[in-house]
């Protein structure tokens, strides 16, 4: 990968290398010089972990209208109709675009190349285009090869963005000109200038103690945008995936919703199904309902986990449809063809984020947000399964088109990073302690089921931690752990603020002190 000098220029700077970032880069690179900054290696983001697939109305018996309806039902009244319509309508076209890029989706046997379409919770039809049970990785690896071969794309690995460089007053005309970026290996800060900056930094699952997200998902983009002056919205809507593998050696391993789509049953230790008692759709209910049902059963019965039973399928079926999950389970001594899989809910996806319009533009000129970091209005109060990769594809295309619609403006010279007034940290235990405290606090007090008392306690503790971290940051030389802690503390406060402002229960946000859903659905928008 390329290594820049202390100051480097490009037309477009993309922070993040998940599907959203790669799609933006490929749509831009024939006409713009693009730099991708990635926190780890090119394939370490959440997109590569996506097992299920991409939702698209491709079947003859399906329709775009049905996809729109399912998305809006899951979103519990908070979806933006024009965004949902645009993304669902573009879905078949972006699937075909991926095929032109070299992605080979799983085909339906004996149907002359027709795609095999899976079904997941909340969908009224089979419409999940997939590559076995590792769609995200297959798509990422295919696009990665095109990225690495393109002469106009530079990839900078092992870098983490610190803050944006902007001009103009907050609340007025404000424009981004680049970012300060820390090289995680050398500890040096680089100044990267660009005419446009795209936040494609992914999610914030590491704010919680238990998550399906990779370690890099620390809410960096939301925190960076907030500090720069962008509004954020709906961060109280954290999707807890119902089924994360419960095993001491299985760190953050997701058990795809697609298993329930193929008849997987959630059961207690004695084999009794419990989902029909919670929802008429049983295991195919939307994720928030399934996660709350599991949480209820575990807390009521004092269980460490519940079980997902696939034993009604043959070993051949499981090996064909779920090879990745099957292989990981068998590594841990679990033969899912013979016994159920132990599962628990875990923080999985943020439906809120940086406020954008339909072209992915934020409140700051030249700054775009694409993917999980953004709040476009597609997901509303609860994301429909397999709409996340779809959003990356359509909104990545939209952001690139908006950038290409005008010539890059002139760029000012940017000041170098100044760390002359800070000292190296002497005790990393302070950072580690605060990091652990925030994640445990969020899991215990701001989890699947919330209350006014828990949220008030979380807010008080987070304010104290935030002040402590801000003081520490101002006095010490930065490193990766301190930057991630700073961002996690910022995002945790924003989640709690959003949860306290929402005086109802809707979608993924359930507060037992206000269990009813109000007649009018209103976004929770926070302004710096």
Which residues are known to be catalytic?
A: 287
Nearest alpha carbon to residue 36 among 136, 149, 165, 157? 157
- Please, which residues have CB within 8 angstroms of residue 205's CB and are 6 or more apart in sequence? 46, 211, 212, 213, 217, 346, 347, 348, 349, 350
Element (H, E) at 1: none
Question: Residue 113: left (phi > 0), alpha (psi -120 to 50), or beta?
Answer: left
The rounded distance, in Å, linking the Cα atoms of 27 and 49 is 23
**Could you give the angle at the alpha carbon of 122 between the alpha carbons of 120 and 124, nearest 5°?**
85
Q: Which long-range contacts (CB under 8 A, 24 or more apart) does 438-442 make?
A: 438/207, 438/462, 438/465, 438/485, 438/488, 438/489, 438/492, 439/206, 439/207, 439/208, 439/209, 439/488, 440/209, 441/492, 442/207, 442/208, 442/209, 442/492, 442/495
DSSP state of 176: E
Torsion of the alpha carbons at 380, 382, 388 and 392, rounded to the nearest 10 = 20
Nearest alpha carbon to residue 262 among 345, 337, 342, 331? 337
List the end-to-end C-alpha distance of the chain, in Å, as a whole number.
Answer: 36
The rounded distance, in Å, linking the Cα atoms of 103 and 142 is 6
The rounded distance, in Å, linking the Cα atoms of 125 and 479 is 48
The rounded distance, in Å, linking the Cα atoms of 456 and 137 is 40
CB 482 within 8 Å of CB 473: yes
**Could you give the angle at the alpha carbon of 387 between the alpha carbons of 381 and 390, nearest 5°?**
135
Residues in the chain: 528
> Reduced to 3 states, what is the DSSP secondary structure of residue 199?
strand
DSSP-assigned states of every residue in 83-104: HHHHHHHHHHHHHHHHHHHT--
Nearest alpha carbon to residue 371 among 349, 357, 388, 384? 388
- What count of other Cβ atoms lies within 10 Å of the Cβ of residue 447? 19
Element (H, E) at 27: helix 19-28
The rounded distance, in Å, linking the Cα atoms of 116 and 321 is 10
The rounded distance, in Å, linking the Cα atoms of 438 and 335 is 36
The rounded distance, in Å, linking the Cα atoms of 464 and 452 is 19
């Amino acid at each position: 990968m390329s290594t820049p000098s202390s100051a480097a220029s490009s037309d477009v700077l993309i922070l993040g290398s998940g599907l959203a970032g790669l799609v933006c880069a490929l749509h831009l690179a024939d006409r713009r010089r693009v730099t991708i900054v990635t926190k780890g290696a090119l394939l370490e983001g959440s997109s590569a972990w996506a097992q299920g697939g991409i939702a698209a109305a491709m079947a003859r018996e399906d329709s775009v209208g049905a996809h729109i309806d399912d998305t809006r039902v899951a979103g519990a009244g908070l979806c933006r109709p024009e965004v949902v319509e645009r993304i669902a309508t573009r879905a078949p076209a972006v699937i075909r675009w991926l095929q032109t890029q070299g992605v080979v989706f799983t085909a339906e046997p004996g149907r002359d190349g027709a795609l095999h379409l899976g079904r997941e919770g909340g969908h009224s039809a089979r419409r999940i285009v997939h590559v076995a049970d590792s769609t995200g990785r297959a798509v990422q690896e295919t696009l990665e090869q095109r990225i690495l071969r393109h002469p106009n794309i530079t990839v900078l690995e092992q870098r983490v963005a610190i803050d944006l460089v902007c001009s103009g007053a907050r609340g007025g005309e404000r424009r981004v000109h680049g970012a300060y970026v820390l090289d995680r290996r050398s500890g040096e800060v680089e100044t990267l200038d660009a005419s446009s900056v795209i936040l494609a930094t992914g999610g914030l699952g590491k704010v919680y103690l238990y998550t399906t997200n990779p370690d890099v998902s620390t809410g960096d983009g939301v925190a960076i945008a907030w500090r720069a002056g962008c509004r954020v919205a709906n961060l109280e809507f954290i999707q807890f995936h119902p089924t994360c593998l419960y095993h001491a050696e299985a760190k953050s391993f997701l058990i795809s919703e697609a298993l329930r789509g193929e008849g997987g049953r959630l059961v207690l230790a004695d084999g009794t199904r419990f989902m029909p008692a919670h929802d008429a759709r049983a295991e195919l209910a939307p994720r928030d309902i399934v996660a709350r049902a599991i949480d209820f059963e575990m807390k009521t019965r004092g269980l460490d986990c519940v079980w997902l039973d696939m034993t009604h399928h043959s070993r051949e079926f499981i090996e064909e449809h779920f090879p990745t999950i099957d292989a990981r389970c068998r590594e841990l001594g679990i033969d899912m063809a013979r016994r159920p899989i132990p599962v628990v809910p875990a923080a999985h996806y943020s439906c809120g984020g940086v406020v954008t319009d339909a072209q992915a533009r934020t409140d700051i000129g030249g700054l775009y947000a694409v993917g999980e970091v953004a709040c476009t209005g597609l997901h509303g109060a609860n994301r429909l399964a397999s709409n996340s990769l779809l959003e990356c594809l359509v909104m990545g295309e939209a952001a690139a088109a908006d950038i290409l619609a005008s010539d890059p403006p002139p760029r000012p010279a940017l000041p170098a990073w100044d760390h002359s007034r800070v000292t190296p940290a002497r005790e990393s235990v302070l950072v580690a302690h605060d990091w652990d405290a925030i994640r445990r606090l969020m899991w215990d007090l701001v989890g699947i089921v919330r209350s006014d008392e828990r949220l008030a306690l979380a807010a008080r503790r987070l304010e104290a931690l935030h002040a402590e971290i801000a003081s520490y940051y101002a006095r010490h030389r930065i490193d990766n752990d301190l930057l991630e802690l700073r961002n996690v503390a910022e995002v945790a406060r924003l989640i709690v603020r959003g949860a306290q402002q929402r005086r109802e229960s809707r979608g993924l946000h359930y507060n037992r002190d206000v269990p009813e859903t109000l007649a009018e659905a209103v976004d929770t928008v926070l302004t710096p």
